[in-house]
Structure 1
Amino acid sequence: MSRIGKKPVELPKGVTASVSGQTVEVKGPKGTRSFTATDDVTLSTADDTVTVTPRGTSKRARQQWGMVRSQVANLVAGVTTGFKKELEIQGVGYRAAMAGNVLKLSLGYSHEVNFEVPAGVTVTAPKQTEIVVEGIDQQQVGQVAANIRDWKRPEPYKGKGIRYKDEFVFRKEGKKK
């Protein structure tokens, strides 16, 4: 039995969900998102809740049960509050700035890095050393933040690079004489 899958997904005020076959569509104040579940589970709505039940007792059906319930809960969270990832830049001369739909990063390379922001995600740079990625799709927000971080990952000796706001970077001791 899936402990996560057993709980129905509550829909807050202002959020509506419609199920057609294996597709659930959630509409809220921030936008509309949809998800198509596998044939191993059944989706149903009643009284401001979305319920997921497995079809059968196979291992795959039980696996999909909790996963689909989590996906639907993420849809609801995305259209109500949205998702946010905060990055910080550490290093002398390292900075970020927004120019239209392009994030310009100075990361110690011989050239400036231009990161094109995809549709559905908002990227802002409130300070030169901070980047905030926001959107209603949790996967897309996380992927964009990871792509930005990949331009200059934090290195273990001086800690220079782009890191998540609460990320701990294990520091190594340098060479000894």
Structure 2
Amino acid sequence: MSRIGKKPVDLPSGVSASVSGQTVEVKGPKGARSFTATDDVSLKVEDNVVTIEPRGKSKRAKQQWGMSRTMIANLVTGVTDGFKKEMEINGVGYRAQMQGNTLKLSLGLSHEVNFDVPAGVTVTCPKQTEIIVEGTDEQLVGQVAANIREWRKPEPYKGKGIKYKDEYIFRKEGKKK
């Protein structure tokens, strides 16, 4: 049994949801997002609460029940607060700056990396060593942050590279004489 699926999704003030078939559309102050659930669950909106119920007792129905509830809760969070990933750049000469819709990264390579920011995500650089990725879609924000981090992952000896702000880098000891 899904324990997460039993909990209904509350809609805060200023957020509205509508169900048409298996598609839930959530509108809020930061925009509108939608999610299409599988036929294994049934969706209802009543009294500013979205409830999800499984259709049948199959294993797949139970799996989709919890997953659908989490996806709808993420839609509500996205249109109210949005999602945010903060990243830090460590290393001598490593820096980032925004130019229009392009993130320019100097990461010790022979060339400067130009990263085009996709639609639906905003990237800001308050300092040369900080990158903030924001948006309403949690999956897209995480994927963009991972793509930026992929250019120079933090290494374990000096910790140089791009890391998430809350990430811990396991440090290794260098060679001994």
Give the TM-score band, short-chain normalised: over 0.9
Look up the match of 1:81.
81
- 1:176, distance to aligned residue in structure 2 (A): 1.3
Deviations 1:61-112 (A, max 9, x none): 0011000000000000000000000000000000000000000000000110
Task: Determine the structure 2 residue equivalent to 1:173.
Answer: 173
Residue 51 of structure 1 and its aligned partner are, at CA, apart by 0.4
- What whole-Å deviation, never above 9, does each CA across 1:118-166 have from its counterpart, x for those lacking one? 0000000000000000000000000000000000000011100000001
Distance (Å, rounded) in 2 between the aligned partners of 1:43 and 1:148: 37
Q: Summarize the alignment of residues 83-122 of structure 1 with structure 2, pairs less than 5 Å apart.
A: 83-122=83-122
Instruction: Give the corresponding residue for 1:26.
Output: 26
**What is the CA–CA distance in structure 1 between the aligned matches of 2:8 and 2:46, rounded to whole Å?**
10
Whole-Å separation in 1 of the counterparts to 2:34 and 2:20: 11
Matched with 1:65 is 65
State how far apart, in whole Å, the 2-side matches of 1:40 and 1:89 are.
44
> Which one-letter code corresponds to 2:10 in the other structure?
E
Which residue number in structure 2 is paired with residue 124 of structure 1? Answer: 124
SS of residue paired to 1:50: strand
Q: What SS does the aligned partner of 1:98 have? A: strand
| In structure 1, distance between residues paired with 2:28 and 2:122 | 18
Runs of at least 5 residues in structure 1 that lack an aligned partner in the other structure = none
Provide the secondary structure at the position in 2 that maps to 1:39: coil
Paired amino acid for 1:165: K
Cα distance in 2 for residues equivalent to 1:43 and 1:153? 41
**Cα separation, 2, equivalents of 1:2 and 1:116:** 40
State the aligned residue count.
177
Shift of 1:2: 1.2
- Secondary structure at 2:155 match in 1: coil
* C-alpha separation in 2, matches of 1:106 and 1:163: 15
Describe the SS at the equivalent of 2:87: strand
Q: How many Å apart are 1:175 and its aligned residue?
A: 1.1
Q: Runs of at least 4 residues of structure 1 off by over 3 A?
A: none
